Structure 1
């Protein structure tokens, strides 16, 4: 499968086939892709909430300005950030490194202490903004993997996070919703699927020095 051709194939799907669902294996690829996304320091202050329940999604549509993709897609991905990054998050991360890589405490301690100090030096708002930037990296990665896997998707910022947090009970999980990504398969009558992709010529978009 040609990567560039698949990226040309993808578009922000406006109408999904509500009867066509992702296979378990396809869904697993996307979950793994999210988990393998690059994040700053590898700290992973993100969570992916996968919503398949139609009753829940029917409640969410109105809080996404009635964009039907939320309901009609096979699954709705809600990319969330932790409400805060605490010292125990950093400690847990370095404990995981120690367990998986068998790295000694002497090597890890300076890096762990520096990261704890850096996070404490930021305000709560700054820590959340830091995590939001990671969420956009995850979104881009998921969109690319979707294209390569032949899965349609529609990245969405247009929703009311506070309402999503309440309906999905994210507050109790210490999470805040940031981005939506309905995934599934385009409807045959989605006219947007036939539109030619509009991009600048490479010579205008890329500067080579």
Structure 2
């Protein structure tokens, strides 16, 4: 399928059948997410991969009892840094220098720019910016899953504070942003599966400036 056929095939599955997604498909989806663009390349977020059935059951309980969480093969939790710290930036600059085989001193101006932005903002502003970056990767993940013919459900309906506590995210300097159950649609029990995709008309969506 080409990209438009792929996007027309995908939808937000409301029920999944529990069938396991092959590990190679999961790895390609995760790698696509890892390769997603982010502002200045900082990637101020992490992705938690959850397969444990008991953990999925507990997450479902704090996510409005949405069945896809427990019916999924794998559950991805996108979590943003709760702040942008000098240590984060130091690690990023060091890693960049290593990957590009250059002296870390060559990145001093870039480092100072990042530090200036992070220090200018409040912690909440830094978190909100990090969350927006996580959503870019999240969107790439949805498309990557569709490319693999794996269903994925974008999901925000959960108690973030309860989920953070359940997963021990505060100790990791993270706050949950969104969920992505991965699996295969239950065509017999999903009310949405046979309905036409609805999107705004092109003439109302694409505006000439």
Same fold (TM over 0.5): yes
* 1:195 alignment partner in structure 2: 195
* 2:85 alignment partner in structure 1: 86
2:4 aligned with 1:4, yes or no? yes
* 2:13 alignment partner in structure 1: 13
CA distance in structure 2 between the partners assigned to 1:191 and 1:115 by the alignment: 47
CA distance in structure 1 between the partners assigned to 2:58 and 2:200 by the alignment: 39
Deviation track 1:71-125 (CA, whole Å, cap 9, x = no partner) reads 1011111000112211121111111111111234453111111111111111111
Q: CA RMSD in A?
A: 1.3
- Using structure 2 for the length normalisation, give the TM-score: 0.95
Equivalent position SS for 2:79? strand
The Cα of 1:208 is off from its aligned counterpart by 4.5
* 1:60 alignment partner in structure 2: 59
Equivalent position SS for 1:96? helix
CA distance in structure 2 between the partners assigned to 1:75 and 1:148 by the alignment: 17
The Cα of 1:25 is off from its aligned counterpart by 0.2
Matched-pair contact (CA < 8 Å) for 2:93–2:104: no
Matched-pair contact (CA < 8 Å) for 2:94–2:104: no
2:153 aligned with 1:160, yes or no? no
* 2:206 alignment partner in structure 1: 206
* 2:179 alignment partner in structure 1: 180
Matched-pair contact (CA < 8 Å) for 2:151–2:184: yes
2:138 aligned with 1:139, yes or no? yes
* Structure 1 stretch displaced more, 5-14 or 92-101: 92-101
CA distance in structure 2 between the partners assigned to 1:157 and 1:188 by the alignment: 23
Deviation track 1:130-189 (CA, whole Å, cap 9, x = no partner) reads 101111111111111111111101101100011111111112222111101111110121
Gaps of 5+ in 1: none
- Using structure 1 for the length normalisation, give the TM-score: 0.95
CA distance in structure 1 between the partners assigned to 2:12 and 2:63 by the alignment: 15
